[in-house]
Amino acid sequence: MRRRRSLLVAALLLALPAAAAAETQRLVFPTLLGEYQLAFDDKRTSEADVRTLVTLSPHLAGWNSLAVAPRLERCVVDDPAYLDCRSRSPQSANFLWNARVNLERGNNALAYLRGLRPPPELEPVVSWLMRSLTFSLWLEETKLEYFRSGDVAVLRRRYEDVDPTRDCGEIVNEIARTSSADARLDLVVLRWHNCVNNQFRRKLGEYPMPAWKKFLAAWRIDERVVETFPISREEPQTR
């Protein structure tokens, strides 16, 4: 009896380090409205792998600009890569510099996606993100070329099955007729951009959520989105 009890105690003591090693690890990432929380078993996968692959999450892709390129006019005051952010108009002295910073960051994000070696479950996600980001870069590069040349023909160029002349011709014609530089800017940055973007995204389709869920299940990762700064449901929101 004593021998059996001793063996049982010894087995329990040996099991304690293994149980401690298998303890669930947690990662927290900031989002626009709160936090994105992950729980995973570090015996199943490493923290480094989780940190790399989580950038593909539908809850972080837009936040980290993996789905879309930064807009040309983006300028972050505290970021030393940008010059004076007081004016973001294409006519400002620093616009071209700041626009190139944004295009470079978009291209760096695309290079990052191309360099990934994702597990099979995430291949549809990476493919979707690359198509989304490649188009977004084209959209910003096209606007920059128009701002530099003033040639409306630039805005008529096709991208895959998207034909701005066919799908957004009314807006392009209005840009060509408008004499005011400020009015043309608004038409290009808002109406032309949105029209062409909507046409492409209708064909691209939604983020491949089933693939992301399959990845989480295969890698035994639990995710949770926590809104610590919830949007008021009573007031209309503007974007």
Per-residue pLDDT of the chain (239 residues; tens, 9 = 90+): 555 555 444 444 444 454 445 578 999 998 888 899 999 998 888 999 999 999 999 998 766 779 999 999 999 999 999 999 988 888 888 999 999 999 999 999 999 999 999 999 999 999 999 999 999 999 999 999 999 999 999 999 999 999 999 999 999 999 999 999 999 999 999 999 999 999 999 999 999 999 999 999 999 999 999 988 755 544 433 33
Give this prediction's pTM: 0.83
Q: Which residues is 40 bridged to in the sheet?
A: 25, 221
β-pairing verdict for 221-227 and 24-30 = unpaired
